[in-house]
Structure 1
């Protein structure tokens, strides 16, 4: 018996069948590694077959390219950041080294300046010490006109208790060394006189002054002016009477020339 189809239009395969065919075709193309040239016309034979650009394969390629671009950009940014970081670290290291060198030079200069200052201060102190320990003649450029222990009726003791330095009236009289004034004023036969307690505990006296320029309790230094020579008191003419004593009292006198020479004064 012969079979016959019903009359009417032929129906296309259901959607499930078409989808299965499409997936099979894609699988075949993917397995071969290439998309066959005849695949597109074959798939395009029906209106329901998607175009190649609508497939997941194309989308995957596009996504992969986009990811690769992003990775490349990130790599470039990271390399640039690394270069900048290296340059910054190098610049900071160089700046630190320069700062250290500048500080070292400044510290060395300060050390030298402090050493020089200390040396100058030490030298000044030494010079002042020497100056204060130095003795000078009571009258510049003078000489002894009457010696120590010279005999004469002019002196109540019968002999000269000091020495006389030649000096015109008004000649500057100096303290012979460092000391403190213990007497300044009228001294009887000595006229206007000054007595100084010296730093070594001895005493010096300056008599017959025309004027006095220091006062009791005042400290004096070697060569400082203490008055002017004259002819006050028991004298026959202007000169400076100079005595050296072991005490402030009369009668404790010692040889003034030996005293001054013993302190380095050239007479």
Structure 2
């Protein structure tokens, strides 16, 4: 209660301020890993001493291991399709590209040896959806006690929309036929066109028309980059002028398996797929490729 009469000016109490300065050691560097809650929960003793529990770091390492993510270093001869198949990436090369687009860039075919790719990462939208579902279940709906295992996308299922169910498919989707088989002309050493041309832009996926074994994959002179596959019926399919190869000699492939990407390598006037069916792996043993595909239930043109 204030004194009556004269007003006295209260004297400010003296006190000494002291500031504890934490060192720039492990604590300062570890605080971001702990998150906001962990930082406020730290005791003064821990802040001054510079010591912090290793538990948050270990917990994050354990979470990364449980998530199944890992890093893959691209090797010579790799393609996203090949890596996705070998590493059993659910969602195939498109998922692998989506998860690593910032590292790869705008062209999924331009990967180089040494490039580090993350395998098994979940997209931000998928993770957000799962988090929302787990923390905020719908009213009146009981939470599930068991998870339904996610279906694993394979090369065969990716090609299911274009396969016939009889083990054969078109080598490219949505293509029109350009130069037909047996078209006569002096530009060909045999005097006629030994295959059929599918008009597609550079970068179109080229698929094996049936299961088989790659007998050659590489530069084929006038054919540019080519792949030849031997099938169970003893016939051979050839895919030429490709911009990129996704398989190697001796590799087994399934129907619809990506062999590479279309292009305009070799002697060409524009991008397309030159496709042949042969009785041997060599030039000059050609048969009508359209008739062959139709005989196996594939709708062509």
Q: Provide TM-score, normalisation by structure 2.
A: 0.45
2:187 aligned counterpart, secondary structure: coil
2:261 aligned counterpart, secondary structure: strand
Task: Output aligned runs, 1:18-57, within 5 Å.
Answer: none
Among candidates 252, 256, 261, match of residue 294 of structure 2: 261
2:240 aligned counterpart, secondary structure: strand
Task: Output aligned runs, 1:1-267, within 5 Å.
Answer: 133-267=166-300
Deviation at 1:154, TM superposition (A): 2.1
> Quick one: distance in 1 between partners of 2:256 and 2:236?
16
RMSD: 1.7
Query: Contact 2:169 / 2:209 at 8 angstroms: preserved in 1?
Result: yes
Superposed CA offset, 1:53-97 (max 9, x none): xxxxxxxxxxxxxxxxxxxxxxxxxxxxxxxxxxxxxxxxxxxxx
Deviation at 1:210, TM superposition (A): 0.3
> Quick one: distance in 2 between partners of 1:249 and 1:191?
15
> Quick one: distance in 1 between partners of 2:168 and 2:276?
14
Q: Provide TM-score, normalisation by structure 1.
A: 0.50
> Quick one: distance in 1 between partners of 2:228 and 2:173?
19
Deviation at 1:143, TM superposition (A): 2.1
Query: Contact 1:162 / 1:256 at 8 angstroms: preserved in 2?
Result: yes
Superposed CA offset, 1:189-232 (max 9, x none): 10000000011110000000000000011111111100000000
Deviation at 1:134, TM superposition (A): 1.4
1:72 equivalent in structure 2: none
Superposed CA offset, 1:100-149 (max 9, x none): xxxxxxxxxxxxxxxxxxxxxxxxxxx9xx98841100001112111001
> Quick one: distance in 2 between partners of 1:154 and 1:209?
20
Deviation at 1:158, TM superposition (A): 1.5
Q: How many residues align?
A: 139
Query: Contact 2:243 / 2:263 at 8 angstroms: preserved in 1?
Result: yes
> Quick one: distance in 1 between partners of 2:187 and 2:267?
8
Q: Which runs of 4+ in 1 moved over 2 A?
A: 130-133
Query: Contact 2:164 / 2:297 at 8 angstroms: preserved in 1?
Result: no
2:290 aligned counterpart, secondary structure: helix
Query: Contact 1:133 / 1:177 at 8 angstroms: preserved in 2?
Result: no
Deviation at 1:153, TM superposition (A): 2.4
User: In the superposition, relative to structure 1, how do residues 219 and 133 fare at CA in structure 2: closer, same or farther (>3 Å)?
Assistant: farther
Gaps of 5+ in 2: 1-159
> Quick one: distance in 2 between partners of 1:261 and 1:210?
27
